[in-house]
Structure 1
Amino acid sequence: MGTQPDLLILKMKNGDRAAFARVYERYQEALHGVIFNIVKNRDISEEILQDVFMKIYNNAESYDSDQGRFFTWALNISRNASIDYLRSKKHKNSLKNLSTDNFVDTLETSQDLEEASNAMFVRKWVSKLEPMCKQIIDIIFFKGFTFKDGAEQMGIPSGTLKTRHRKCMSNLRNLVLE
């Protein structure tokens, strides 16, 4: 662990609250953008983001830099928490009470614009990837598909999607960390 981000993560893993605050500062915008793109609700996405950072802090010792980059680990926690919410009874019950007004895809408030900006931050990096990677990341992260459903959507085997996804995430990491 020689780079500055790795040192920060190591400090956080050792319980350094200031390091955790810096990790939050550094990653919250990108993670929030991913969460919002999956759940499509500002309040819920903020709640999930807080839960994600609690999981990051409480499970920091389980992060292994030999298994991948911290950003990818945190993205996976964010994505999984968002998908878990969409599968929850709480979410399914909330859908029963929605009016058609909730399905209008417009930016009505400055807060909605801020959420869209967070999503654009992540999309800015994704847009620099090759078309296959754009499609894979859109399906898995932005739309919240499981690998099985994403593979079905793309008409490829699940194992192939997972392999391509790993390659694409590696390419994305390299772009973000340049």
Structure 2
Amino acid sequence: MCAKDVKAFEYLYDNYSGAINGIILKIVRSEDFAEELLNDCFLKVWDKINDYDAAKGRLFTWMLNIARNLALDKLRSKEYKAKMKTDDVSENVFISDERYASANKPEFIGIKEMVEKLPAEQKKLIDLMYFQGYSQSEISEELQMPLGTVKTRVRAAMISLRQLF
């Protein structure tokens, strides 16, 4: 990938696009936006691959964070808010697409099993943050917990997950 090998990029896309699209789709709940963000994610991976540091984590986790950040940015965008206000109600209903059924579920790539091994308070935070798209401040408000506590527990959960992986 660092040498901009197209075959390596194709391999990466073929093996991870389904899982990453699933996470994006869970956050934005719009197939149109999810497809756009998936493309943006892989373009960013292609452009920023030299920024990836294997010592800090796995490639999939790095790519997942890029996708998650792009999806959260889209949720906060005026374009997204305007589209959601003007779309027909039937278009806002989240419908699972069977062609992505297994690839979109985190349990098929082992993440859910790892999260299940965490203590209950950490599991709840990771679920809200990574599977439902909440920010740390939104989690703080939702759970009526100090922001510092949320950050500390998320960090502890990430350390535990890193050891499990």
Per the normalisation by structure 2, the TM-score is: 0.80
1:125 maps to which of 81, 96, 111: 111
Structure 1 CA distance for aligned equivalents of residues 132 and 48 of structure 2 = 26
Given the superposition, is the C-alpha separation of residues 159 and 70 from structure 1 closer, same or farther in structure 2, using an over 3 Å criterion?
Answer: farther
2:52: which partner in 1?
63
Note if contact 1:48-1:82 (Cα within 8 Å) is conserved in structure 2. Answer: yes
Unaligned runs of 5+ in 2: none
Question: Alignment partner of 1:65: what SS?
Answer: coil
2:71 maps to which of 42, 63, 82: 82
Percent identical across equivalent pairs? 36
Return the offset for 1:160.
3.1
Per the normalisation by structure 1, the TM-score is: 0.75
Structure 2 CA distance for aligned equivalents of residues 171 and 33 of structure 1 = 24
- How many residues align? The count is 161
Structure 2 CA distance for aligned equivalents of residues 49 and 97 of structure 1 = 23
Deviates more, 1:70-79 or 1:52-61: 70-79
Residue 54 (structure 1) aligned with residue 30 (structure 2): no
Question: Alignment partner of 2:38: what SS?
Answer: helix
Given the superposition, is the C-alpha separation of residues 116 and 129 from structure 1 closer, same or farther in structure 2, using an over 3 Å criterion?
Answer: farther
Note if contact 1:36-1:115 (Cα within 8 Å) is conserved in structure 2. Answer: no
Deviates more, 1:73-82 or 1:142-151: 142-151
Return the offset for 1:172.
4.5
Return the offset for 1:60.
0.7
Note if contact 2:84-2:92 (Cα within 8 Å) is conserved in structure 1. Answer: no
Residue 113 (structure 1) aligned with residue 80 (structure 2): no
Structure 2 CA distance for aligned equivalents of residues 21 and 57 of structure 1 = 11
Give the letter aligned to residue 118 of structure 1: A
1:30: which partner in 2?
19
Root-mean-square deviation (CA, aligned residues, Å) is: 2.5
1:31-89 Cα shifts (integer Å, max 9, x gaps): 11110100111222111011100000101111112222222211110111001111112
Structure 2 CA distance for aligned equivalents of residues 104 and 87 of structure 1 = 19
Unaligned runs of 5+ in 1: 1-11
Give the letter aligned to residue 105 of structure 2: M
